């Protein structure tokens, strides 16, 4: 088993780090809000470090799951950052959804220190993290990925290297682009069913086994019909991710008209006070429009 550091104990990181302990790894954690790390240690054991550098000291693998580009830079190269504490030959695995630009920047900074850097954003939501069945899309050097993959198996069901540094983040962008359109389509379909006087549950029972079926339909339709959105991946985080997608599309020339439109729909949800609602709350926007007409 390996000596592992885990940086960032949010909705995703908290259970992921717990799965590492359950798999028999020696885990030290760091979290910006120390009380969260203290609660994790009380639940799972392991050790608590006061800084990323201290957590990374002696670790063979350092995993991170933080908020955005700036947060990742801070835990890697900021004051008492993880790179400062990592030994030559160690592997840094980043599970945050960030830009390919910052990924490549930190890959180069890690290489200069004799450290490997694997970008490994995740998909599967809070339930996927809690159940240890995340999809993990990776970029970076083949040897570093090969070393890190067995560690990620503690919480990943589908793990794949897609290419060089940044390829994992670019693949996560594809994931979010696809999800945006799917959720909007599902929201419109369920809203139409409501307006047509149909039983939404019966409708989904019929259509989910055909071409319209999707993970979003199977896992979100009931709570969408019940108007419950206090779980899962928040709108604020989705807008952060879609912003990365749209910015990257401006750089590579990709056309993303549906993604840009759904991003604005999520902005409307934020303006309704729904920044922390689950992303399936797009249907609440449609219901609000209906009431206002």
Q: Which residues are catalytic?
A: 172
Question: Are the CB atoms for 178 and 148 separated by under 8 Å?
Answer: no
Identify the CA nearest to 93 among candidates 26, 52, 131, 149: 149
> Would you tell me how many other CB atoms lie within 10 Å of the CB of residue 73?
17
Sign of the C-alpha dihedral, residues 15, 33, 238, 289?
positive
Helices 167-195, 100-112: crossing angle, 10 deg rounding = 150
CA distance 76 to 66: 11
Question: Are the CB atoms for 200 and 194 separated by under 8 Å?
Answer: yes
φ, ψ (nearest 5 deg) of residue 215: -60, -45
Question: Are the CB atoms for 61 and 91 separated by under 8 Å?
Answer: yes
Sign of the C-alpha dihedral, residues 119, 14, 122, 255?
negative
CA distance 164 to 98: 16
């Amino acid at each position: 088993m390996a000596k592992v550091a885990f940086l960032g104990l949010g909705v995703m990181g908290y259970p992921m780090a717990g799965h590492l302990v359950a798999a028999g790894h020696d885990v030290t954690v760091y979290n910006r809000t120390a009380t969260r790390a203290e609660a994790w240690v009380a639940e799972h054991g392991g050790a608590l470090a006061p800084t990323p550098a201290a957590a990374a000291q002696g670790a063979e693998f350092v995993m991170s799951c933080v908020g955005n580009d700036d947060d990742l830079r801070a835990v890697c190269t900021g004051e008492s950052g993880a790179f400062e504490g990592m030994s030559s030959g160690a592997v840094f695995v980043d599970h945050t959804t960030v830009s390919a630009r910052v990924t490549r920047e930190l890959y180069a900074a890690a290489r200069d220190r004799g450290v490997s850097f694997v970008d490994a954003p995740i998909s599967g939501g809070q339930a996927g993290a809690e159940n240890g069945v995340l999809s993990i899309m990776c970029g970076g050097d083949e040897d570093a990925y090969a070393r890190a993959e067995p560690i990620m198996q503690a919480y990943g069901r589908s793990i794949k290297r897609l290419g060089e540094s940044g390829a994992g983040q670019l693949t996560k962008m594809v994931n979010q682009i696809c999800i945006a359109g799917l959720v909007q389509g599902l929201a419109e379909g369920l809203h139409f069913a409501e307006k047509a006087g149909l039983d939404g549950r019966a409708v989904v029972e019929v259509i989910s086994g055909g071409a319209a079926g999707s993970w979003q339909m199977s896992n979100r339709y009931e709570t969408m019909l019940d108007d419950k959105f206090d779980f899962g991946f928040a709108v604020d985080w989705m807008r952060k991710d879609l912003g990365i997608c749209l910015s990257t599309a401006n750089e590579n020339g990709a056309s993303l008209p549906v993604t840009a439109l759904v991003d604005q729909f999520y902005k409307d949800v934020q303006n309704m006070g729904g920044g922390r609602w689950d992303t399936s709350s797009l249907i609440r926007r449609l219901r609000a429009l209906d009431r206002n007409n």
